Structures are given as C-alpha cells and as structure tokens.
Chains A and B, each alone.
Chain A
Amino acid sequence: MLTLQCPYCGVQADETELSAGGEAHIERHGPGSSDEAFEEYLFARENPFGVHFERWRHSYGCGKWFHAARNTVTLEVYGTYPAQTTEPPADIRKRISGVAPGWTWRFLG
C-alpha cells in the first residue's frame, strides 16, 4: 500500500484517499506550437523502472494537487512537494541521488 504525505495538510494519506494524476512536470504546448512539440505534450510519457515523478490529488481530504517523487520498483517514496513547481526541489533530488546514484528521468539526472 502506498502512503503519501500531503504537503498541504500534512496528512499521511493512504493510496485510497488519493487520486493519481499521471506524470509530473509536463510542459504544455498548445496552439501555435510545432507538431513535434504538440505530439510530445500529448503522448510522450515516461514509463520508468525506478525513479518517477507523479501528480497526485488528495481527493478524499483537502482536495489539493501535489507532486510525489517515488520509485516504481521499490515503492520507496522520496518525498512530496507542492504543485506550484516546474521541477522537483533540490532537496528531493539530493535525497534521490543519495539512495539511487546515477538516476535519470526525462530532463533530470
């Protein structure tokens, strides 16, 4: 069972109290963008065996969206952070590097 701490209300929320929101930090490319950029925005997703960044919503609690950094293999949670960021905070990246040296994820690593 996955347990994530909501960064807004501090609750240790059980997976069943949350809604999964897919991959984190996707940059939007809308009208006027190139076909390649739009295609990437719509369809290109990571499917990592290891470190991953996701969006979650505390739907049975405060209702806020947040980000989570976790490992899809070990189910280890590296941390959660607010939704108002375009990339993972430095402290979480440092923590991941400590546990999983050499990790990469999209533009990170």
Chain B
Amino acid sequence: MDLNIAAQLNSFLAAFVLLTAFGMLVQRRMYGLVHLFAWQGLFLSINTAIVGFEAGKHHLYISSLLTLTLKVILLPYILHVLIRRLKLHKEVEVVVNIPLTMLMGIALVIFSYYLMAPVSRLSTLVTRSTLAVALATVMIGLLMMITRRHAVTQIIGFLAMENGLFFAATSATYGMPLVVELGVALDILIAAFIFGIFFFHISTAFDSLDVEQMARLKEEE
C-alpha cells in the first residue's frame, strides 16, 4: 500500500467519521443513534490501523483493536441493553429543530477548519488535514449534548466527543502513548457503567430520562 493511497483512505475515513457525527446529530431514533455510534467507532478503528501501518507505529494497532472492542462492540451493546431494559422511547426528543441543528453543525465545521488551518500548515504528517475534522467531531458531539433532551443521547454525545478527541490524537501526533490510551479507554468504560447505573436510578426516581425533569431539582424561591 503506497503512502498516497493510504493518505487518501485516511481522508476518506475522516469524511465518514464526520458524516456519522452529523448522522448522530440529526438522527431521531434511539437505536439508529447507537448504530451510528458503532459505525463511527468502526471507521475510527480502521483509520487508526491505517495510520499505524503507514507511520510504522505498531502500538496504534493495539489502540485500533481497543477501539473496535470497546466502541464498536461493548459500548453499543451496553447501550442497547440499557435502552431495552429501560423501555425508552424510540423517538428522540430534540430541543432545537433538526434543519437548524444541521446548519449549526455546518457552521462548526467551517469554524474548526478556520481554527485548524494554521495548525495543519505547520504539521508535516500525512494526516494533518484531518485535524479540522477531528475538532469538528468534538464540537458536534458537544452540540449534540446541548440540543438533545434525553440522558442516553447525552451520553452518546459525550462518547462521540471522546471519539473526536481520539481522532484528533491520531491525526495530530499519530496517537497518544499507549498507557494514556489504555487509561482513557478504561475511563470511558467506567464512565459508561456509572452512567448506566445512574440512568437506572434517575429513571426510577423521575420515571423518565428526560433531562428537563432535572430542572425541578433547583431550590424553590
């Protein structure tokens, strides 16, 4: 595999990561959301493997594998179980309407390109052009957490943000040191478990996972 094709594949996968990020932003169904998240993980994992191959950094294979098991198989599975157990609505409620969210997403992409243009000009790596995409993915994840009302969609938004960070690490510096990465992976896993437990408690306490309900938690005047 020569370097040129690898770089092209890399940017192609970056485009798909961005696409899945947008897909999650506009997806109305809970299961669809989880599937898109899994797809994003898959693209990320393949991308990491390719970057690892072309840069000759073999520890990236491990993180690729880690991504695959954690983000493509384990976390989606947990979320699936969660959704099934909690009998969540299949339709996700949104705070802002969807076409407007799309436009905001596009604006974020342009903004992150604008921010990253000078940075990627300094970098010499093959993957430098995907930096903007990575930043955009992080921001879109955050936007998703803002525009959604459901706790499960918020956790997916959080995980998507983490995907973006991971992607940024791969494209900016060919990945973080393995130790850090393992730690982060563990964190994510634990976070997901804690979230899961919390959700059970929230849903028994409020009979709903709508985060708007939590607005009631403030002190009455």
Pairing of A with B: no
Which residues in A have some Cβ–Cβ distance to B below 8 Å?
none
